Structure 1
Amino acid sequence: MKFAPATIVDPAQAFIIRWKSSGAGERANCQLFLSELCDLIQVPRPNPTRDDDRHNLYVFERTVAYPRAHGAVSTGRIDLYKRGCFVLEAKQGSDQKAQCLKSRRGMAVRGSNYWERSMSDARRQAVTYARALPDWEGWPPFVIVVDVGHSIELFADFSRTGAGHEHFPDPASYRILLGDLANSAIRQRLAKVWTAPFDLDPARAPPVPRLARGRAGKVAALA
């Protein structure tokens, strides 16, 4: 009796296939997507929330209070927070315009000007939440904006001064699309954001050895 060869399923491709058709359901999909993303990049899932925020080091829906006009105070919820690592704000758009009342568009149609503005607004919201964290927790080095099932945007401030989170690693590649998760280097970058964000600080990169610099200079001179 012959048996069919076992099919090896690539976890990244399985994740991409599972989530690529999702849309317009941030509340329903956000925590499931992020939990499964943690599995994919091989980091622990968030912890259960406790009644004392001093112990909520890595949780969904971390509460923060921030001032509004005329002395008012508002309460916000960080979609996913990890102390010393990041503040994450999640949204979910859709890939096509709603054709009927039963169709949902989410925050915006992906790729549209309104979607781009909505993602920028989400970034500002995440920074507002980061600013509202207690001083003793410090500024997180990363702000992350996610369109669930579509993209992950990274912004970094390694100074932790609140001077501004800039596109990371650069304006051309700060947005990670769902399909990019098939690349192991991208998954490793995200794992670092989750577990050792300062390892990604370019200022901490090891210096180029003197011999290597000399060789590089000779090559440049010959070019």
Structure 2
Amino acid sequence: MDAHRKQRQAQHPSLTITDMYNVLEKLRSGEALSAKEQKTHEQGLVSILLQLHTELDAAVAAAYGWPANLPEEEILERLVALNKERAAEEARGLVRWLRPEYQNPQGTQQTEIGLSTKTKVAKATAKETLAWPKTLSEQAQAVQRALQLHERPATAEDLLYQFKPVAKPQQGQRLQQIDSLLQTLHGLGLLRKTELEQYVK
């Protein structure tokens, strides 16, 4: 997303982030664009930027185990409830570290992040081969499960083989999808990244 914005601004120096996001909000609301906004839309490829945000929102929702199309009010209600739940857990001494190598250098075992046991990624067995889901939210959950199945730090290429094989021409696209989801989950604090560029729960 950041690379997309920087690339468009490099090609069009007068293009601003504010202009792009004003147009993005109009696209979301279905409002008609003015001639100036249409130019911004074309220079900034704002439809692609909107798609990137939509995919990121879906991945975030999947990480929490929530539907991707929740209204803003319900998202806020759920976050408030989650905050209360976490505060109660920490009062009992249960801390869910996001970056244990910095927050918990003593090595106390980190508990799994999730809203409840209902939304945790199911445990996988060593013999299990995973199907690749159709929706982005299910794909995010499948990647987390594949990482559990791998049972050690893994790259996107390692996890590729945890899924049912695809035709060779499609492997590059699948690998890119897995890598993108790993980066998103890492950015959300749901995965850790090692010095060897591998991911681990």
Q: TM-score, normalised by structure 2?
A: 0.25
Q: TM-score, normalised by structure 1?
A: 0.24
Judging by fraction of residues, say which structure has more helix: 2
Judging by fraction of residues, say which structure has more strand: 1
